[in-house]
Protein backbone atom coordinates (compact mmCIF):
# COMPACT_ATOMS: atom_id res chain seq x y z
CA UNK A 1 0.00 0.00 0.00
CA UNK A 2 1.28 3.46 -0.94
CA UNK A 3 2.00 5.59 2.17
CA UNK A 4 0.44 8.66 0.51
CA UNK A 5 -2.79 6.76 -0.12
CA UNK A 6 -2.78 5.57 3.51
CA UNK A 7 -2.46 9.20 4.69
CA UNK A 8 -5.38 10.22 2.48
CA UNK A 9 -7.44 7.35 3.83
CA UNK A 10 -6.63 8.36 7.43
CA UNK A 11 -7.80 11.92 6.72
CA UNK A 12 -11.11 10.81 5.28
CA UNK A 13 -11.76 8.46 8.19
CA UNK A 14 -11.37 11.29 10.71
CA UNK A 15 -14.66 12.95 11.59
CA UNK A 16 -14.72 16.53 12.81
CA UNK A 17 -17.30 17.47 15.45
CA UNK A 18 -19.01 20.87 15.18
CA UNK A 19 -22.14 22.74 16.21
CA UNK A 20 -24.38 25.20 14.44
CA UNK A 21 -27.19 27.25 15.94
CA UNK A 22 -30.00 28.99 14.11
CA UNK A 23 -31.06 31.97 16.23
CA UNK A 24 -34.47 33.51 15.55
CA UNK A 25 -36.06 36.77 16.70
CA UNK A 26 -39.09 38.58 15.28
CA UNK A 27 -39.31 36.35 12.20
CA UNK A 28 -35.62 36.93 11.41
CA UNK A 29 -32.60 34.64 11.75
CA UNK A 30 -29.12 35.77 12.73
CA UNK A 31 -26.91 34.51 9.94
CA UNK A 32 -23.18 34.75 9.25
CA UNK A 33 -21.88 35.68 5.81
CA UNK A 34 -18.39 34.16 5.65
CA UNK A 35 -15.99 36.62 4.01
CA UNK A 36 -13.08 37.34 6.39
CA UNK A 37 -11.02 34.19 6.97
CA UNK A 38 -8.34 33.09 4.52
CA UNK A 39 -8.74 29.65 2.95
CA UNK A 40 -12.31 29.38 4.26
CA UNK A 41 -14.33 26.61 2.59
CA UNK A 42 -17.44 28.58 3.60
CA UNK A 43 -16.29 31.81 1.91
CA UNK A 44 -19.12 33.58 0.09
CA UNK A 45 -21.79 31.52 1.83
CA UNK A 46 -24.33 32.26 4.57
CA UNK A 47 -24.31 29.86 7.51
CA UNK A 48 -25.65 29.62 11.03
CA UNK A 49 -23.48 30.44 14.04
CA UNK A 50 -21.20 27.70 15.29
CA UNK A 51 -17.82 26.06 15.29
CA UNK A 52 -15.59 23.19 16.32
CA UNK A 53 -16.16 21.27 19.53
CA UNK A 54 -13.11 21.52 21.79
CA UNK A 55 -11.81 18.31 23.42
CA UNK A 56 -12.83 19.57 26.88
CA UNK A 57 -16.48 20.34 26.03
CA UNK A 58 -19.69 18.62 25.01
CA UNK A 59 -21.79 19.82 22.03
CA UNK A 60 -24.13 21.92 24.19
CA UNK A 61 -21.19 23.72 25.84
CA UNK A 62 -19.63 24.32 22.44
CA UNK A 63 -22.88 25.73 21.08
CA UNK A 64 -23.21 28.18 23.99
CA UNK A 65 -19.54 29.22 23.71
CA UNK A 66 -19.54 29.68 19.94
CA UNK A 67 -22.74 31.75 19.99
CA UNK A 68 -21.35 33.99 22.74
CA UNK A 69 -17.94 34.39 21.03
CA UNK A 70 -19.31 35.12 17.56
CA UNK A 71 -22.44 37.15 18.41
CA UNK A 72 -22.19 38.49 21.95
CA UNK A 73 -25.42 36.67 22.82
CA UNK A 74 -26.00 34.45 25.81
CA UNK A 75 -28.38 31.61 25.08
CA UNK A 76 -30.83 31.08 27.92
CA UNK A 77 -31.88 27.89 26.20
CA UNK A 78 -31.28 26.13 22.91
CA UNK A 79 -33.13 23.19 21.44
CA UNK A 80 -31.01 20.31 20.16
CA UNK A 81 -32.54 19.24 16.84
CA UNK A 82 -30.24 16.39 15.84
CA UNK A 83 -27.04 15.48 14.06
CA UNK A 84 -26.25 16.14 10.43
CA UNK A 85 -23.46 13.94 9.07
CA UNK A 86 -21.42 15.44 6.25
CA UNK A 87 -19.35 13.07 4.17
CA UNK A 88 -17.16 14.57 1.48
CA UNK A 89 -14.50 13.48 -0.93
CA UNK A 90 -12.97 17.01 -0.93
CA UNK A 91 -13.65 18.70 2.41
CA UNK A 92 -13.40 15.92 4.97
CA UNK A 93 -16.07 14.41 7.17
CA UNK A 94 -18.01 16.15 9.91
CA UNK A 95 -20.77 15.42 12.38
CA UNK A 96 -22.63 18.66 13.07
CA UNK A 97 -24.83 19.05 16.15
CA UNK A 98 -27.78 21.19 15.11
CA UNK A 99 -29.45 23.70 17.47
CA UNK A 100 -32.22 26.30 17.39
CA UNK A 101 -32.83 29.14 19.83
CA UNK A 102 -35.19 32.06 20.22
CA UNK A 103 -34.32 32.49 23.90
CA UNK A 104 -31.29 34.73 24.35
CA UNK A 105 -30.05 38.04 25.69
CA UNK A 106 -27.08 40.25 24.85
CA UNK A 107 -24.03 39.77 27.07
CA UNK A 108 -23.14 43.49 26.97
CA UNK A 109 -25.19 45.55 29.45
CA UNK A 110 -25.79 48.47 27.04
CA UNK A 111 -26.90 46.08 24.31
CA UNK A 112 -29.14 44.32 26.84
CA UNK A 113 -30.83 47.63 27.77
CA UNK A 114 -31.49 48.43 24.10
CA UNK A 115 -32.75 44.90 23.52
CA UNK A 116 -35.20 45.18 26.42
CA UNK A 117 -36.32 48.69 25.49
CA UNK A 118 -36.47 48.41 21.68
CA UNK A 119 -36.61 44.63 21.09
CA UNK A 120 -33.60 44.93 18.76
CA UNK A 121 -30.08 43.55 18.78
CA UNK A 122 -27.44 44.99 16.48
CA UNK A 123 -24.92 42.21 15.81
CA UNK A 124 -21.28 43.02 16.59
CA UNK A 125 -18.32 42.72 14.26
CA UNK A 126 -17.27 39.11 13.86
CA UNK A 127 -13.81 37.78 12.95
CA UNK A 128 -15.29 35.25 10.55
CA UNK A 129 -17.67 37.39 8.53
CA UNK A 130 -20.69 39.66 8.68
CA UNK A 131 -23.55 38.90 11.06
CA UNK A 132 -26.95 40.03 9.86
CA UNK A 133 -30.60 39.46 10.72
CA UNK A 134 -32.28 37.91 7.67
CA UNK A 135 -36.04 37.69 7.21
CA UNK A 136 -37.33 34.15 7.53
CA UNK A 137 -38.91 34.44 4.08
CA UNK A 138 -35.54 35.36 2.48
CA UNK A 139 -33.36 32.63 4.00
CA UNK A 140 -33.68 29.94 1.34
CA UNK A 141 -32.64 32.38 -1.41
CA UNK A 142 -29.27 33.17 0.22
CA UNK A 143 -26.08 31.75 -1.26
CA UNK A 144 -25.35 28.76 0.98
CA UNK A 145 -24.24 25.17 0.76
CA UNK A 146 -26.87 23.13 -1.06
CA UNK A 147 -26.84 20.61 1.78
CA UNK A 148 -27.56 23.33 4.37
CA UNK A 149 -30.88 24.02 2.66
CA UNK A 150 -31.81 20.38 3.34
CA UNK A 151 -31.88 20.91 7.11
CA UNK A 152 -32.72 24.62 7.17
CA UNK A 153 -36.03 24.07 5.37
CA UNK A 154 -37.32 21.63 8.05
CA UNK A 155 -36.17 24.06 10.76
CA UNK A 156 -38.24 26.81 9.13
CA UNK A 157 -41.22 24.43 9.14
CA UNK A 158 -40.78 23.76 12.87
CA UNK A 159 -39.09 20.35 12.80
CA UNK A 160 -37.91 19.25 16.24
CA UNK A 161 -35.89 16.20 15.17
CA UNK A 162 -33.56 16.19 12.21
CA UNK A 163 -31.29 13.33 11.23
CA UNK A 164 -29.60 13.13 7.86
CA UNK A 165 -26.41 12.37 6.04
CA UNK A 166 -25.27 14.77 3.35
CA UNK A 167 -22.78 13.27 0.94
CA UNK A 168 -20.70 15.65 -1.16
CA UNK A 169 -18.81 14.66 -4.28
CA UNK A 170 -17.09 17.92 -5.09
CA UNK A 171 -19.82 20.53 -4.65
CA UNK A 172 -22.64 18.14 -5.62
CA UNK A 173 -24.59 16.71 -2.73
CA UNK A 174 -26.93 13.85 -2.02
CA UNK A 175 -29.16 14.00 1.06
CA UNK A 176 -30.15 10.85 2.91
CA UNK A 177 -32.87 11.42 5.52
CA UNK A 178 -32.61 8.93 8.33
For residues 23 and 26, give the distance between their C-alpha atoms in angstroms, rounded to a whole number: 10
For residues 52 and 20, give the distance between their C-alpha atoms in angstroms, rounded to a whole number: 9
pLDDT exceeding 70 applies to what percent of the chain? 92
**CATH placement of domain 15-177:** 3.90.79.10
Per-domain residue ranges for the chain? 15-177
So what's the pLDDT on residue 48? 96
User: Whole-angstrom distance between the N-terminal and C-terminal Cα of the chain?
Assistant: 35
Residue 6 pLDDT greater than 50, yes or no: no
pTM over 0.85: yes
Residue 4 pLDDT greater than 60, yes or no: no
pLDDT band at 13 (very low <50, low <70, confident <90, very high): low
Q: What is the pLDDT of residues 65-112, one digit of tens each?
A: 999 999 999 999 999 999 999 999 888 899 999 999 999 999 999 999
| DSSP run (H or E) holding 8 | helix 3-13
| DSSP run (H or E) holding 176 | strand 172-177
Amino acid sequence: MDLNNQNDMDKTEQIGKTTVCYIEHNEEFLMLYRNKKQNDINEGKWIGVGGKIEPSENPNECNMREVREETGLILNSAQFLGIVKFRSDMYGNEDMYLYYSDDFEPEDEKDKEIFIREDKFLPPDCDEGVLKWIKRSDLMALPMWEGDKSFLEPILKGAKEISMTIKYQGDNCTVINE
